[in-house]
Structure formats: C-alpha cells, structure tokens
Amino acid sequence: MNSNKLDMKKVIILGGAFVATCIGSGFATGAEFLSFFVTYGIKGALGAIILSFIIYFLFTKELFNKGQELPAEQCTSLFTYYFGKTVGTILDWYCAIFVGGCYLIMLSGAGTTMNQYLGWPVLVGSALMALVSVITVWFGLRKLTDVIGVIGPVIAVFSLMIGIYALCKADFSNTDATLKTLNYGKAAPNWWISGILYPCFAMLTLTPVLPAMGATANNKKTTTGAALFGAILFHLALAVIVFAILGNLDIVGTAQVPNLALSGLMGKVIQGIFVIMILLAIYSTACPMMWGFCGKIAKDEKSRPYRISILALTVVGMICSYLFPLGKLIGFMYSISGYVGAVVSVGMIISNIVRKNKAKAMPAPKAE
C-alpha cells in the first residue's frame, strides 16, 4: 500500500467529522450569523464567508497535520508546544473561561428560543435549561448527554432543509433597505474583520480536538484533503443559512433566533419539531461546556469546589440572560475571542517559522 496515496474515504469521514464538530447549537439557531455575516449585506456577507473559508481551511490543515507530526501527548497541549509552558497555560485557562462563557450563551439561547416560540420570559426558559443542566452535571449523567448528542447531525440536516426551503422563497430586492431598519449588532467594524474573527474564535475550542482527528489519517495528503473538504462543506452550509436569512428579512425581522423564524415557512408542525430539536441541541452542548469549565477548577466531580463552580457559573448565566439579549452576548464574547484567536494564529505562524529556521541552522549529522 502506498502511504502517500490520497485516501478519499478517509477524506470524507474526517472532513465530515470536522463539520459535525463545527455545527452546533449556534448553527441550529442561526443567531451568530446575524452579527458575523447578515448585518454586512449581501456583498459583505459573501466576502466574509470567503475569507472565513480560507482561514478555516488553513488552520484546520495546520492542526490536522500536527496530528501527523507530533506524538499524542504533545497534541493534547498544543498551546504549550507553540508558545511554551507559561503562555500555553494562560491560553489553556482562557479557553476554559471561554467555554464557561459559551455555557452562558447556551442558557440565553434556550430562554430566547422559548420566548420567541411560546412568549415566555427569557429568564424562565433560561432557568429551565439551567436546572436540567445543573442536575445533569451535578450527578455526572454523561451518558444522557452522549445519547442526546447524537441529534447533532440530525439538526444540521434539518437546519439545512429549512435553509434551502427558505432560500427558494427568498427575495433579495429590498434586502439592503430592510437591513438599515433592523439595526443588527456587528461583530466587527466591517465585513473583512468579521470574516477573520469568525474562524478565529472557533479555533480556540478546536485546537485541542483537531490534532487527534488528524492523527487517524494515513498521511498529510489525506489530512489536507479532509481539511479542504470539511471547510468547503461547512461554508456551503453556512452560506445557505446566511443567504436564506438575507432573502427573508421580512420574516426574520428582529428575531434573535432567525432559523426558528424561517422554520415557520414550513408550517407550525415543523416549527414545533424544530424548537424541540434546538433545545435538545442546546442542552447537549451546555452540559459539556459546564463540565469543561468546572473540570478546570477541580478534577474531582464530587468535591465542594467543583459543585460551587457549577452553581456560581449558573448564577452568572442567569444574570447575563436577564441583563443582555442573546445577540449582544454572542457579539461581545465571540468577538473578543475572535481577536484573541487571531493573535494566537499569528503566534502559531511565527512559532512555525522560528522552528523551521532553527532546524535549517542546525548542522547536518556527520556521516560515519
């Protein structure tokens, strides 16, 4: 068997796994797309998607390939590999805090979804999601979230179906004029910065995951192919949702969960099913995020510090749900992490250049 041969089966499997990792509850609700893409209009959204695709492909290729180059123990601490122990530890902690912040967004997302569909106060929906999440994490019910986590691919397909249907009904004749009246928040001052920030905030959570995925391939040609396939697939799906929203702004309006508004085009039954799927997706995302944050505070899940951190994080989440709309939370937290991720990305490039230059400067071993 030729070890340098492109393994198309692995390209599809690995690229598909990458897409499944990227598509979560944020994709299902479509909330993050408003501030990162939709708000910049048709041309701006297209430019931001193309820029996001290029960066997503480059860093996915880099991290997949690191799984080929490095031993497994180094892949679990890539920030230390790139930046050394001190900076690497700081970035590990930042990622843990960012994951905890994403849990706050999940609570707000659940409350906003129930508010939009049932008219309940946002705080009530957030409190219900917080209750089931705390019970799950408090008693260590990981298997429950693993089972519900299987809904990920299903909701991705369902979201795409809604997006494609809405895209067929789209009317772009008044998009720019309507956008001016809606005043969506912006993740960045302009579309090209937003196109950079979107993949960079995701990079912080993907860095610990992608090398292990890349290590399962047989060579770098396959990991590069998988990175390209995964990035194309993810951004095609993203583009469908973004342009479905842009073409149906009269229906989406000021809704914080645009995909839920679009699902109404397919009838009340489909919309009801989609609400349940969104809430399950949020739940299956919220619990691992709480585990990730609290596990950084204390390893023992039955210890007092661990359980105090569960309650403290949830209280902060409830306060944020009460004080800030979902769009503002996403715009603030994801934008900040996007800037951090951009700096980290530049640091990774510099680290690679320094390593290569040092390797070239080293004298070749003498022949015996």
CATH classification of the domain holding 339: 1.20.1740.10
pLDDT exceeds 80 at position 210: yes
Rounded-to-10 torsion of CA 308, 309, 315, 316 = 150
Query: Is there a domain that residue 243 lies in?
Result: yes
Q: Is 5 exposed, middle or buried (0-12, 13-18, 19+ CB in 10 A)?
A: exposed
Query: Is there a domain that residue 71 lies in?
Result: yes
Token pair of 355, please? 């390593």
Q: Which of these, 221, 297, 209, 220, lies nearest to 19 by C-alpha position?
A: 209
Place of tokens 């040092």: 358
Q: What pLDDT band is residue 144 in, cutting at 50, 70 and 90?
A: confident
Q: What pLDDT, in 10s, does the model give residues 268-324?
A: 999 999 999 899 889 988 998 899 899 889 988 889 999 999 999 999 999 999 999
Looking at residues 39-66, what average pLDDT do you find?
A: 96
Query: Is there a domain that residue 161 lies in?
Result: yes
Give residue 365's pLDDT: 57
Residues 6+ apart with CB under 8 A from 110: 125, 126, 128, 129, 279, 282, 283, 286
pLDDT exceeds 60 at position 1: no
Token pair of 127, please? 């409190």
Q: Which of these, 104, 145, 159, 95, lies nearest to 126 by C-alpha position?
A: 104
The total number of structural domains that make up the chain: 1
Query: Is there a domain that residue 355 lies in?
Result: no
Rounded-to-10 torsion of CA 238, 180, 249, 123 = 80
How far from 265 is each of 162, 169, 261, 262, 348, CA to CA, in Å? 8, 9, 8, 6, 45
Bigger pLDDT: 19 vs 3: 19
Query: Is there a domain that residue 360 lies in?
Result: no
Give residue 366's pLDDT: 57
Token pair of 233, please? 């697939």
Query: Is there a domain that residue 3 lies in?
Result: no
Q: What pLDDT band is residue 2 in, cutting at 50, 70 and 90?
A: very low
Give residue 33's domain range. Answer: 8-348
What separation, in Å, do the N-terminal and C-terminal C-alpha atoms of the chain show?
33
Query: Is there a domain that residue 357 lies in?
Result: no
Q: What count of residues does the chain have?
A: 368
pLDDT exceeds 50 at position 114: yes
Query: Is there a domain that residue 362 lies in?
Result: no
How far does CA 297 lie from the centroid of its chain?
23
Residues 6+ apart with CB under 8 A from 20: 152, 153, 156
Helices then strands (H, E): number in the chain?
19, 0
Token pair of 305, please? 């510090």
